Structure 1
Amino acid sequence: MNNIKKIQKILHGRNADEVFPEIDLTGLIIITCYDDDGIQFRGEINEHISAFGGTKILLLNKTNNEGFVPIKQYTLQKGLIDFINDHDIEVTIPKVEISVNYYSGLEREYAWVVKTEVPHYQFDIMLEDKKYCQGIILEVEEIRKAMR
């Protein structure tokens, strides 16, 4: 946990245009947003996902607990979930939900907010001296607990 607080301090207040710092992210997943439509995963997941206008992401467990795969809920619904529902198949998929909300206009404190029910740490990403994104730091162990 002490390491997470250090990482949170390093990330908090950084400018969105800055290069991501070289820090040890073993056992952690960092989720932030950039420009108008992208979600960035760092650490145990290194992935970029399009999220124009915001989206819901599901973290699915890989075989043999060898990590996680992020997938947009919409993508999953359009394929696998529709098939499962059409054929009355009962399936339980351990997953963690992450909401990524985009707010246009000046009425909100942030343009992007990343949320989840899994215990996490938050940090602010700045753009032109204004709060731009509220990112999160997740511990892999907390994600695994939430999937049980």
Structure 2
Amino acid sequence: MTKEELAAQLCCIEYGARIPGELIVAAQSSGLVILCGASDDLMEFYGARREEIGCYGGGTAFVDVDGVLPDRDCLDGDEEIAEYVHRQKSAKPIEALWCQEDGYSWTYKTDIPHATFHVLEDDAPYCRGIVFALADLA
């Protein structure tokens, strides 16, 4: 499955509904990651990588082929810091934008090749999610 095919299947999913399990499994087997917003403070990653990042009012997550980098402020010890510094050299940023585009609570900005899909809340736009391939981060 390609990122475009998966995004098309996710299009117009209703906020609050879970992403169907079969689409998460398809994303996992295809090396794809689904990113969408939740509430007013979360970036949620599903598929080939699962993570939840706090980003109240917006924020930035860094991703590489191994997934989402941890919050640097939460690292404990020289080994964790060294691994973070090593990974960040090749990591790509994804910026979560809170209420920056008319009609959307969440949108994302990144140079990672991706496809987009719309999450609706009561038939109105809530989030423009993205789907990207881990292979594009190598």
Fold agreement, TM-score > 0.5? yes
| Matched letter for residue 127 of structure 1 | E
Structure 1 Cα separation of the partners of residues 74 and 7 of structure 2: 36
* Structure 2 segments unaligned to the other structure (5+ residues): 76-84
Structure 1 residues 3 and 93: CA distance shift in structure 2, 3 A: closer
SS of 1:97's equivalent?
Answer: strand
Structure 2 Cα separation of the partners of residues 68 and 48 of structure 1: 11
What percent of counterpart residues are identical? Answer: 24
Q: CA deviation at 1:123?
A: 0.6
Name 1:55's counterpart in structure 2: 59
| Matched letter for residue 57 of structure 1 | A
Name 1:133's counterpart in structure 2: 127
* Structure 1 segments unaligned to the other structure (5+ residues): 62-66, 81-89
Structure 2 Cα separation of the partners of residues 13 and 30 of structure 1: 14
Q: CA deviation at 1:93?
A: 1.6
Name 1:94's counterpart in structure 2: 90
Structure 2 Cα separation of the partners of residues 38 and 8 of structure 1: 20
Contact 2:51-2:68 at 8 Å conserved across structures: no
Name 2:3's counterpart in structure 1: 4
Q: CA deviation at 1:79?
A: 7.3
SS of 2:3's equivalent?
Answer: helix
TM-score by length of 2: 0.78
| Matched letter for residue 35 of structure 2 | I
Structure 2 Cα separation of the partners of residues 69 and 18 of structure 1: 23
Name 2:111's counterpart in structure 1: 117
RMSD: 2.4
Q: Does 1:33 align with 2:17?
A: no
Name 2:79's counterpart in structure 1: none
Larger Rg: 1
Name 1:84's counterpart in structure 2: none
Q: CA deviation at 1:59?
A: 1.2
Name 1:70's counterpart in structure 2: 69
